[in-house]
Structure 1
């Protein structure tokens, strides 16, 4: 009988209890012992573990930590906005680009959608498992016709000796690659459709090669649940006559340049101004 159940919140003893996980699946190994599939509660990491390495957490205390985390994140975003205003780096008047956000996590999706709404960006959100994203992304692009699409959820490197240049070493990266390929069949022009794809430790190079503008994770590190929305907010609110560098976007995120990379990308704000601000 399993010591843990689907929905339990746990930490891993071998990793210093550093990340809260929720158990999403239970399978037995060849010896008949349960192996638990884990998804990060506040980060976009997926992993698996035996029961001996797990400690169950008090949901009430976890929720308190979660609220503190979200509050700090929101405060940091507000501080960034105030800093831009202080130095005269205000958003140009006009209509921001629209965003289609496809996420395997309903909770993360809600957090990101709230961020878009706070930034007054039109957005469309759908919860879809990573494995199903390649089969639905084109239909959703045709339905909503967004300027920007986010393809995200959870990911992670598999245990053991892994080849960082093989999709087989990643838990869900192949689905992000396939989804980007399908999205580019809809719109090949990277200046007309901006694509962000990936999650924690994702195969960055393969996702970029498939046609994404931005992806995670160049340094195979964990990324924050809000990082994809921070990247796409920047794209949506940058004048369409200007280009965004990967560095300028990555520095706005918690994970930085080791977590987010990409290519120079045109903004998607349709400005009312006749000339660029210098």
Structure 2
């Protein structure tokens, strides 16, 4: 069987439980990335089976349905937040009050270019200002400082692929993880630039990441408390919800996590403030600050 980068495969040894995308082929060894999950793996070529066209179409349909679920859920929450914001802004005034919004800007670092494209498309669809950068996980610690200085984000997402490799050691040994250590180093470098948890909200991690390590490094939110796989778009939901929550409001970690596709086995974090700010009065010049307007 011939394989090339981009082919979809499953593993015989795991009864085909996860669909992977081939990222590289080195002789008989194949590097893999989860097609729906942020999981890194490798396997001998003889352990792999190509996904046929019928299964591929079914998989793509399933992915689309999950993306639409995230979008619909978030739009519903966004409408409720907007109605509340309008009420709070105009309360106490007889005349109608105009205002504009400054939504939180996201800097999204992703070790997977394919996922980065899907994530940035969803951010833009949700109306969240985003600057996305594809960087191999191991290069993130060296590049994060200059990116923060350039973008000046309110929210930082550090993600890609990870895995807990039990053959390397126990769950509390950072050497047992594929990329948790570099994710943690990246968080620490970011915290040197912005130490306060409420001035830069950080999500870090991917599938099976060392949750406690990433929280101690300075993340507000991270994966994965029970070392499970997380959905590729879960970091987008977390960042978008923070972006549209007023800075005077606190976000309960449990309330936020329970609406993700993965849930609290895969995601956790700290009580955190939102980052959205409102201003008045609304003028044409403010259009560049916000896509929302109230007359």
TM-score, with length taken from structure 2 = 0.83
Question: Which residue is 1:8 aligned to?
Answer: 7
What are the within-5 Å matches in structure 2 for residues 91-130 of structure 1? 92=85, 94-130=101-137
Question: Which residue pairs with 1:199 in the alignment?
Answer: 206
2:42 aligned with 1:48: yes
Are 1:141 and 2:148 counterparts?
yes
- In 1: Cα distance, 2:271 partner to 2:184 partner: 19
Q: What is the match of residue 60 of structure 2?
A: 67
Distance in 2 separating the partners of 1:178 and 1:81? 31
Name the SS of the counterpart of 1:183 in structure 2: helix
Is the Cα contact below 8 Å between 2:81 and 2:245 reproduced in 1? no
In the alignment, structure 2 segments of 5+ residues that lack a partner are 87-100, 281-295
| Residue matched to 1:38 | 32
SS of structure 2 residue aligned to 1:100: strand
Number of residue pairs aligned between Structure 1 and Structure 2: 265
Q: Give the CA deviation at 1:69.
A: 2.7
Structure 1 portions without partners, runs of 5+: 29-33, 274-278
Between 218-227 and 91-100, the greater mean CA deviation after superposition: 91-100
Is 1:25 paired with 2:24?
Answer: yes
Deviation at 1:248, TM superposition (A): 1.4
8 Å contact 1:38–1:47 — kept in the other structure?
A: yes
Q: Check whether the contact 1:240–1:271 (CA below 8 A) recurs between aligned residues.
A: no
d(CA) in 2 for partners of 1:83 and 1:7?
Answer: 35
> Is this contact kept in 1: 2:4–2:22, CA < 8 A?
yes
Check whether the contact 1:47–1:158 (CA below 8 A) recurs between aligned residues: no
Structure-1 separation of matches of 2:77 and 2:191: 33
Q: Deviations over 1:126-174 (max 9, x none)?
A: 1001001111011100000010010000111125363101111011111
Q: CA RMSD in A?
A: 2.1
**1:238 matched to which residue of 2?**
245
CA distance in 1: counterparts of 2:149 and 2:59, whole angstroms? 36
Shift of 1:235: 0.8
**Higher gyration radius (CA):** 2
Per-residue CA deviations over 1:212-243 (Å, capped at 9, x if unaligned) read 00000111011011000101111111110011
Cα deviation per residue 1:155-195 (whole Å; 9 max; x = unaligned)?
11125363101111011111100100100011000100001
- Written as runs of structure 1 = structure 2, the 5 A alignment for 1:80-229 is 80-81=73-74, 83-84=76-77, 88-90=80-82, 92=85, 94-160=101-167, 162-229=169-236
How far does residue 114 in structure 1 lie from its aligned partner after superposition?
1.4
